[in-house]
Amino acid sequence: MKEMIKEIEKLKKEKNAIILAHNYQRKEVQEIADFLGDSLELARKAASLSADVIIFAGVSFMAETAKILNPDKKVLLPEESAYCEMAEMVDVKELKKLREKYPDAAVVSYINTTAETKTLTDIVCTSANAVKIVESVPQNKIIFVPDKNLGTYVKKRTKKEIILYDGFCYVHHKLIMKKDIEKIREEYPDAHIMVHPETPEEIQEMADSILSTGQMIKQAGKIKEKTIIVGTEIGMVDRLKRDFPDKNFIPLTMRARCRGMKEITLESILNSLKYDRYEIVLDKEVMEKAKIPIERMLKVK
């Protein structure tokens, strides 16, 4: 493994490349990243880079976002099969119909959407800023795409009318269950349970806090309990353990593993650097249209 890391470092220098990695990546991938973060942090970082090549250790919509914000740079996704299943749930024809049905509504799309979905979007949001973004638009009616759980979370925190799309993240919606919280509460009665807003409403209601991954990192040090149960993708536990070695982080369930995120390995990163694979290529018009709602989000303070 040491040899592989050395070679990655050498090629990175030669190609003036930078590695961006999401908090859900494998531990060893997180450790070699130049920048590690959630979708919002990575989008902001991607908008400010001077490297020639961006290696995106994440899923395809994230690499697409980096390409849209850096059209002149080479953006590489180390594994073609690293995609987000929730992003793929949006049927573009259905979304067009929804827009026609509610012409006075704003389409707020979660960043976890394809570039094509973003072309039909008024403004993008992440789990960290979804409420703020919904509040920032002038429309009082919102078509919220695609995550119905994050949409429900927003709905409870705004007076605006929220029309939910029927999408979800299988990791948070199906693999994190009510029985997991019940069991862990019994096992660790003094622990703090934090969950992601992509979990279903009933899970959110049973937790002590509902936080995006970026917010989990900001809050973990402030939480008074020493033991913290992490109700999101298991990669997050590695990130938190590294940042807060004095605390005890326990995954709510080991089932919460995102297939797409875990496709990326050190070997695939090395091959990506060696053979320039797999380059993100998007239609120019799609990029230009998709950039507008992303930039609108980045302007919201």
Measured from the CB atom, the residue of 105 and 111 that comes closer to ligand SF4 is 111
For ligand SF4, give the closer residue by CB, 105 or 232: 232
Among 86, 131, 154, 287, interactor with ligand SF4 by CB under 6 A: 86
CA 269 to chain centre: 19
Show the site string, 87-126: x = touches ligand SF4 by CB under 6 A, - = not. -------------------------x--------------
Query: Min. distance of Cβ 145 from ligand SF4 in angstroms?
Result: 13
Q: In this structure, what is the dihedral angle of CA atoms 204, 206, 211, 213, given to the nearest 10 degrees?
A: -90
Between 25 and 119, whose beta carbon lies closer to ligand SF4?
A: 25
**Does position 85 bind ligand SF4 by CB under 6 A?**
yes
- Binders in 163-182 for ligand SF4, by CB under 6 A: 169, 171
Characterize the bridge pairing of strands 106-110 and 123-125: parallel
Are the C-beta atoms of residues 78 and 54 closer than 8 Å to each other? Answer: no
- Cβ atoms of 76 and 276 within 8 Å: the answer is yes
Helix (H, G, I), strand (E, B) or coil at 248: strand
User: Smallest distance from the beta carbon of 223 to ligand SF4, in angstroms?
Assistant: 23
Q: Measured from the CB of residue 139, what is the shortest distance to ligand SF4 in angstroms?
A: 25
Q: What whole-number distance in Å separates Cα of residue 44 and Cα of residue 48? A: 7
User: How many residues of this chain interact with ligand SF4, rule: CB under 6 A?
Assistant: 12
- Nearest alpha-carbon partner for 119 in 288, 282, 300, 284: 288
- CB closer to ligand SF4, 86 vs 128: 86
Contacting residues for 90 by C-beta, under 8 A, at least 6 apart: 109, 113, 114, 117, 145, 146, 165, 167
Pairing of strands 74-76, 53-57: parallel
CB 171, min distance to ligand SF4, A: 4
Tokens standing for 21? 């990695």
Nearer to ligand SF4, 8 or 124 (CB): 124
Stretch that binds ligand SF4, among 9-17, 63-71, 178-186, 253-261 (CB under 6 A): 253-261
Nearest of 117, 119, 110, 114 to residue 148 by alpha carbon: 110
- Interface pattern 10-29 for ligand SF4 (x via CB under 6 A): --------------x-----
DSSP state of 147: B
Nearer to ligand SF4, 8 or 203 (CB): 203
Instruction: State which of residues 59, 68, 105, 195 lies at the interface with ligand SF4 (CB under 6 A).
Output: 59
Helices 213-220 and 235-243 pack at an angle, to 10 degrees, of 30
User: Contact between 261 and ligand SF4 (CB under 6 A)?
Assistant: yes
Min CB(168)–ligand SF4 separation in Å: 9
From 80-88, 96-104, 122-130, 134-142, span contacting ligand SF4 (CB under 6 A): 80-88
| Dist. CA 290–CA 185, nearest whole Å | 43
Q: Which is nearer to ligand SF4, 55 or 171 (CB)?
A: 171
CB nearer to ligand SF4: give 212 or 272.
212
Q: Taken in order 74, 29, 47, 77, is the CA torsion positive or negative? A: positive
Residues in touch with ligand SF4 (CB under 6 A)? 24, 59, 84-86, 112, 169, 171, 233, 258, 260-261
